[in-house]
A and B are shown apart, each in its own frame.
Chain A
Amino acid sequence: MSATLAGWLQAIALVGALALCYRPLGDYIAGLLTSAKHLRAERALYRLVGVDGDADQRWPVYLRSVLAFSMLSVLFLYGLIRLQTHLLLSLGVPEMEAHQAWNTAISFTANTNWQSYSGESAMGHLVQMAGLAVQNFVSAAVGIAVVAALIRGFTRNRTDRVGNFWVDLTRISLRLLLPIAILFALVLAANGVVQNFHGFHEVTTLTGGQQAIPGGPVASQEVIKLLGTNGGGFYNANSAHPFENPTGFTNLVEVFLLLVIAFSLPRTFGKMVGDHRQGYAIVSVMGLFWVASAALITFFEHQHAASALQAAGAAMEGKEQRLGIAGSSLFAASTTLTSTGAVNSFHDSYSPFGGGLTIFNMMLGEIAPGGTGSGLYGMLILAIVAVFVAGLMVGRTPEYLGKKLGGREMKFASLYILTTPTLVLIGAGTAIALPGERAGMLNSGAHGFSEVLYAFTSAANNNGSAFGGITVNTAWYDTALGLAMVFGRFLPMVFVLALAGSLARQQPVPASAGTLPTHKPLFVGLLSGVVLIVVGLTYFPALALGPIAEGLR
């Protein structure tokens, strides 16, 4: 079979699998988020934790619960990392410095999984499974909980209640993420992903040298790293490591896992608002950007237009033989369009436009399909902006799903959109202006600038992948990127929940002849245009200095 045909079949198989899951998974999640019934085990859990599962919260209380849970998660994880040398299964790793532990604790709580450490030399098994992997579950659940509150803002009327955070968190973690994780962890382990509690195991190689075979509970962590769009590798090489991603089959499973929830959530949205066509419109925009990006990155990698890649004859630097260019490009597009940031090949060595697109994907705000929950609320904010723009054109008060979008709603939407560009551009600009931080670049010139731009784009958008050449384990980068991650994650949540509260309070207005239909191709086109213009253009000058300058050289 030719490589081209295999590449096409791979993409078709993936789209087919995602399409098959869209309805059942989306409906299942909608059921979880709307059902009034609790499982008996959940009732026991609520009693133990001390929450009333039947009492819905006002939006400020919901927000405070999100923030309290996340802050305690950071502190707990920070303590666990700092104390790991005294704990079980620490494998003799050295103590981690305070700034790096702080950066890591924030990174995993904020669903980013930016890693300034290297897994095999800095983390013991206990911290990986009881610290990092737990955040991989719950930070993903927090994202879905927040979008659930936003959707309830559309579906509920004349109320100040947007749901119960503790109930949402519990149901999503235990009834959505955990069963899928158990199933696919076994699929991965059956295909060669390791799952044990061993440390390094020394063997004598064929030539008589020594090699240390690593161990660890990898399959159980690998699956939630992808399913929860987290992305933090057990090992430094992440999903390029043969023990994390041993075959072409596991590679497709991993891409599927990192997309499946985010692509099914529009169905949940459609189901909850009582009009599946609304979900189809949103998923169409997501799919459009995802297909275009995957196709373009694959094209640019096959073209490999850059001096060192031309000299080698193919863009295989930083890519694995078993995964190939098609399998690597598909992963790269999917991981940067979601908030995953796992990598099966190293973006720093991608062709200028291929690597540039991975940055651009993140700059779009990770909405196609985006992170678990965060992708959908990002896209719904842009849908609100699109409706508003359309309303301005015809001179009518805009409304979306029966809710009026007045000054208050638009303020929250605008603040949401301004947050990440501010963090990215100020962060990258400051790093470039400081001579010591500029020296962290591995590569020089435009490509070096791209490394810095990538780092702040990745942190502020909670992606976590990197142009890995840059040296970021310094007090300055750990602190600055940590701040970008924490503000990039939680400020938007504040605006989303405030918006949810403001929408839930309203009395719906009936649709009239002047209402913009938000389920038709016209709206899909309008929303796509808004995504490109409002978000994409913000970053054009920065992109022009980095990947575009390098690509046109």
Chain B
Amino acid sequence: MPTFLRTHLTALRMLLVMTVILGIAYPLLVTGISQLAFPAKANGSVVERDGKEIGSGLLGQSFDLPKQNPDDPDEQAQPDPKWFQPRPSAGGYDPKSSGASNLGPNSEDLLKAVEERRAAVAAFDGVDPASVPPDALTASGSGLDPQISVAYAKEQVQRVAKARGVPAERLDQLIAQYTDGRSLGFLGQPGVNVVLLNRAVADLT
């Protein structure tokens, strides 16, 4: 057999062996251990309410009013005042299209979107436009960010309390309960998990 052919046959056999070990055995082993040791986390941290699955504790959701006309693709979704609102999302909180806006830091489109969001959020929550925190005005990287800043959660308390007829103090307590601090006390940034917070809010009324 010519050397050229022999080298390629060796390469092919090596690739197939590596595929079996690293591409089949390795992920099966990790899946097996994960499913035995921490099945809830390995399966997407699914959360339930009244025995029904309502989402993942790690993935954000939208909390909009039902559309006036569900068949109209151009109709803008309106936020539902009864819920704490998440951050803007480039993909509408659809896990089938995760991702960011990718708009540049000087983009006219981004500038316009930020200004419109500031006015809309301030009017919606009944606060001074200057006080709206940055995370309420910017789309996240994943489009599935489950968290908002503590400041943005607190800003929404009066509006949710009014819409639901529940005491604001109770909502403040829930915010404290669903605030994730930094991991190990110093890694990352604190935030409030909107999905878990809203699930608790739904149980109030």
The interface size of chain A toward B, counting residues with CB under 8 Å, comes to 123
Check if B99 sits within 8 Å of A118, measured CB to CB.
Answer: yes
- How many Å lie between the Cα of A341 and that of B19 in the bound state? 23
Count how many pairs of residues, one from A and one from B, have CB atoms less than 8 Å apart in the complex: 374
Check if B8 sits within 8 Å of A72, measured CB to CB.
Answer: yes
Whether A131 is near chain B, meaning CB under 8 Å from some CB there, is yes
Name the residue on A nearest B130 (C-beta).
A313
Interface set, chain B 105-148, CB cutoff 8 A to A: 105-107, 110-111, 114-115, 118, 133-135, 137-148
Chain A residues near B13: list those with CB within 8 A.
48-50
Q: Helix, strand, loop or mixed for chain B's interface?
A: mixed
Whether A17 is near chain B, meaning CB under 8 Å from some CB there, is no
**Given contact pairs A50-B10, A137-B22, A203-B53, A311 touches B105 in the complex (Cβ within 8 A):** no
Contact partner of B41 (CB less than 8 A), chosen from A133, A189, A550, is: A189
Check if B30 sits within 8 Å of A195, measured CB to CB.
Answer: yes
In this complex, which of B18, B21, B187 has the most chain A Cβ atoms within 10 angstroms of its Cβ?
B187
Check if A467 sits within 8 Å of B102, measured CB to CB.
Answer: yes
Whether B156 is near chain A, meaning CB under 8 Å from some CB there, is no
A315-328 interface code vs B (CB 8 A; 1 in, 0 out)? 11111111111111
In this complex, which of B31, B97, B115 has the most chain A Cβ atoms within 10 angstroms of its Cβ?
B31
B11-40 interface code vs A (CB 8 A; 1 in, 0 out)? 111110111011110110111011101100
Chain B residues near A186: list those with CB within 8 A.
30, 33-34, 37
- State the B residues within 8 Å of A (CB): 6-15, 17-19, 21-24, 26-27, 29-31, 33-35, 37-38, 41-46, 49, 52-56, 58-59, 61-64, 66, 80, 83, 87, 93-107, 110-111, 114-115, 118, 133-135, 137-149, 180, 182-189, 191, 195, 198-199, 202
6 interchain pairs, CB-CB under 8 A? A207-B63, A240-B140, A249-B188, A319-B141, A321-B189, A550-B105
- State the A residues within 8 Å of B (CB): 1, 3, 5-6, 9-10, 13, 45, 48-51, 64-65, 68-69, 71-73, 76, 118, 120-121, 129-131, 133-134, 137-138, 166, 169-170, 173-174, 178, 181-182, 185-186, 189-198, 200-201, 203-209, 211-215, 217, 219-221, 235-237, 240-243, 246-252, 304, 306-309, 311-328, 343-346, 348-352, 355, 442-443, 447, 467-469, 550, 553
**Other CB < 8 Å A-B pairs besides A317-B105, A349-B110, 12 of them?**
A13-B186, A189-B38, A195-B34, A213-B55, A251-B187, A317-B101, A317-B110, A320-B142, A323-B189, A348-B102, A348-B103, A443-B104
